[in-house]
Structure 1
Amino acid sequence: MTTSPPASGRLADAYDLVIFDLDGVIYLSDKAVAGAVDAVKRLHGEGRSIAYATNNASRRAAEVADLLVGLGVPAVADEVLTSAAAAARRLADRLEPGARVLVVGADALRAEVTERGLTPVSSADDQPVAVVQGYGREVGWVSLAEAALAVRAGALWVATNTDRTLPSPRGPLPGNGSLVAVLRTALDREPDEVIGKPEAVLFEEAVKRDAATRPVVVGDRLDTDIEGAVRAGLDSLLVLTGVSQPRDLVAAAPHQRPTYVARDLSGLFKDVETLAIGAEGTGWRVADGRLEGKGDPIAALRTITAAAWAGTDVSELKAAGDDARAALDELKL
């Protein structure tokens, strides 16, 4: 599916499904991101179709929905797609009913495996035919060692996702990708399959579930949410409330470039023409190695990003005046 940016109107009006990432977009750990609750409630109040696609495999869909409701966000389990559920479905499609699967991760992943008619185990001695690895706060050396032994013995190795970090109020923390890297190092090989973003599986499921014809992805990570949207051929909005920051956006490779960028979810209710990378009339311009103009620093970021993506060297961009200097300082560019 390929879409193209509409010419005008609110971003939310231009799409028939908004697919949200969760960590770093709606909440950080278990605390709501500023303005996120009001933004999602506003979409619900307008009757917009919403889906949540999360790589975090430590909660089941119903648990995620309960967490959102507890934060004040109206949500139901059917709106939530998790990498844990998707991984269990994929394994059930590939394996015989009752097949033994060594689970590395949280209880939520084990429950998903069980619900799909497979048998979760925790030791390589149980001769599992597959290993599924997802994020879990209690994952440690013992479970990783058992997984390594099982994979060496021939078990299929499926990772729910490879996010190197998880956003938190205290800063980025090790994510499932960091734990996958332990096994990658020990085994000197890659997982047989990765289910979560940037793979397109979760987005494809969301689009199919809602029969959407014009979806947009909202995320905070270039390497998962935005790259996944690019792979799926979907428009995307990067919000700067989580992992990826202005410097990352400016340096983004083509396969990780969003359609739009906004400070936070309030961008859903702003004009599309002002949110697009390279939008005209931002009040800013890059010329002769200098940033000139005044106005919203995020608008300056869009202008700087467009220049960088067009091949202009902005690595040593200078400020032409106090407004430009304040914008560059805020953006840490």
Structure 2
Amino acid sequence: MGERLLDLYDALLLDLDGTVYRGKQAVEGAAGAVEAARDHGTTVRFVTNNASRSPRDVAAHLTELGVSAEPAEVSTSAQAGAAVLAERLDGGSEVLVLGTAALAAEVTAVGLKPVREATSTTRAVVQGLSPDLAWRDLAEAAVAIRGGALWVACNVDVTLPAERGLLPGNGALVHALRVATDREPVVAGKPATPLMAESVRSAGAVKPLVVGDRLDTDIEGAANADLDSLLVLTGVCTPHDVLTAGPGSRPTYLAADITAVTQGADALRPGPKSGWDVRADGGKVRVSGDGDPLDLLRALCAVSWAADGPLDLGDDHPAMETLGLTDPR
């Protein structure tokens, strides 16, 4: 099997929704994978773009789902946003908070003063998702930002997965302020680097591995921070998405789920795989052979990423259908 991922990395930076859990259920095998990492001496950090909950609440939620977690193991975009503010402001500066009490608490924790109304002494605005955010809050932020206040967005995720489907995320409201102020925020969460940097610092890691289900946040965020990454297919990303990923959002490893952290690293790398012959022929992918469909996907990635342009993936091999790659997109 060769060296396992746990043998190569001293910390796992784990995304949550779509990676460790889906909705109200833990991903099968997630609890065991986390415990295997701890038993091996690998540090675990749960890294979330969600700025609405405190580390204590996140840890409690994970524990309820059967994945043991401590508040100190949680890194949130609220913490990263507060760290960005602390680097750029004098102690005691007023910060207008658009977000929950958890975000305000992180602002307080770094020695700044959270407020809810813009005044002449407001030095910054920090924006995180809150279900109670209203027009009046956005108006206060617009006044402060137009007045020269530093603007920090905890994340710019346009949508938020929920039981009823995709709902407006923090990024949708950030965009509203962009339009209203003609300004751009400093972004703290993935794929920007502050949250990754805070997670690495918190873990005391020298060589961490990012594990996530989204190319546009987890994998791109890892690339931006010059970190290796493992993409899992238990959340947002589909086989088609990973095949068509741009150079800045291609994972180092590819697996079905988080249990892959206990598996051999070489087997998880995109590239040629035993049992499969994959080649590009006149702009069309040709597939022959037999074996694990995920190995086929890894081989397809190598061919697709090396191509000069998009390839026709319409090969009728049964494994292509298993991967969902035969239907028109």
The TM-score with structure 2 as length reference comes to 0.90
Contact 1:172 1:243 in 2 (8 A): no
Alpha-carbon distance in structure 2 between the residues aligned to 1:229 and 1:264: 18
Structure 1 residues 218, 331: CA separation in 2 closer, same or farther (over 3 Å shift)?
farther
Select which of 289, 296, 314 maps to 1:300.
296
Gaps of 5+ in 1: 1-6
What is the aligned partner in structure 2 of residue 76 from structure 1? 70
Select which of 286, 310, 313 maps to 2:279.
286
* 1:201 aligned onto 2:194: yes
Select which of 225, 228, 233 maps to 1:232.
225
* 1:317 aligned onto 2:313: yes
| Superimposed CA distance per residue, residues 44-101 of structure 1 (whole angstroms, 9 cap, x where no aligned partner) | 2333211122111011122211222222222212211111112113223322332221
Alpha-carbon distance in structure 2 between the residues aligned to 1:312 and 1:303: 17
What stretches of structure 1 move > 6 A for 4+ residues in a row?
Answer: 330-333
What is the aligned partner in structure 2 of residue 4 from structure 1? none
Give the AA of the match of 2:305. W
What is the aligned partner in structure 2 of residue 3 from structure 1? none
What is the aligned partner in structure 2 of residue 47 from structure 1? 41
What is the aligned partner in structure 1 of residue 112 from structure 2? 118
Alpha-carbon distance in structure 1 between the residues aligned to 2:297 and 2:234: 15
Moved more, 252-261 or 136-145: 136-145
RMSD: 2.3
Gaps of 5+ in 2: none
Contact 1:284 1:299 in 2 (8 A): no
1:314, distance to aligned residue in structure 2 (A): 5.4
Aligned length: 326
Give the AA of the match of 2:302. A
Alpha-carbon distance in structure 2 between the residues aligned to 1:18 and 1:210: 9
Give the AA of the match of 2:299. T
Give the AA of the match of 2:273. E
What is the aligned partner in structure 2 of residue 93 from structure 1? 87
Give the AA of the match of 2:147. A
Give the AA of the match of 1:226. I
1:323, distance to aligned residue in structure 2 (A): 3.7
| Superimposed CA distance per residue, residues 171-223 of structure 1 (whole angstroms, 9 cap, x where no aligned partner) | 433221111111112222211x1111112223223333333222111011111
1:12 partner SS: helix
Counting only pairs closer than 5 Å after superposition, residues 160-239 of structure 1 correspond to structure 2 as 160-191=154-185, 193-239=186-232
Structure 1 residues 29, 121: CA separation in 2 closer, same or farther (over 3 Å shift)?
farther
What is the aligned partner in structure 2 of residue 139 from structure 1? 133
* 1:152 aligned onto 2:146: yes
Alpha-carbon distance in structure 2 between the residues aligned to 1:168 and 1:43: 29
Alpha-carbon distance in structure 2 between the residues aligned to 1:321 and 1:85: 48
Select which of 74, 98, 101 maps to 1:107.
101
Structure 1 residues 273, 330: CA separation in 2 closer, same or farther (over 3 Å shift)?
farther
Give the AA of the match of 1:39. A
Alpha-carbon distance in structure 2 between the residues aligned to 1:111 and 1:24: 27
Alpha-carbon distance in structure 1 between the residues aligned to 2:197 and 2:211: 15
1:172 partner SS: strand
Contact 1:291 1:317 in 2 (8 A): no
Structure 1 residues 331, 205: CA separation in 2 closer, same or farther (over 3 Å shift)?
farther
Structure 1 residues 130, 287: CA separation in 2 closer, same or farther (over 3 Å shift)?
closer
Select which of 15, 21, 32 maps to 2:15.
21
1:213 partner SS: coil
Alpha-carbon distance in structure 2 between the residues aligned to 1:79 and 1:116: 18
1:258 partner SS: coil
What is the aligned partner in structure 1 of residue 57 from structure 2? 63
Contact 1:237 1:260 in 2 (8 A): yes
Contact 1:167 1:243 in 2 (8 A): no
Identity within the alignment, %: 48
Alpha-carbon distance in structure 1 between the residues aligned to 2:318 and 2:77: 46
What is the aligned partner in structure 2 of residue 9 from structure 1? 3
1:125, distance to aligned residue in structure 2 (A): 4.4
Contact 1:65 1:76 in 2 (8 A): yes
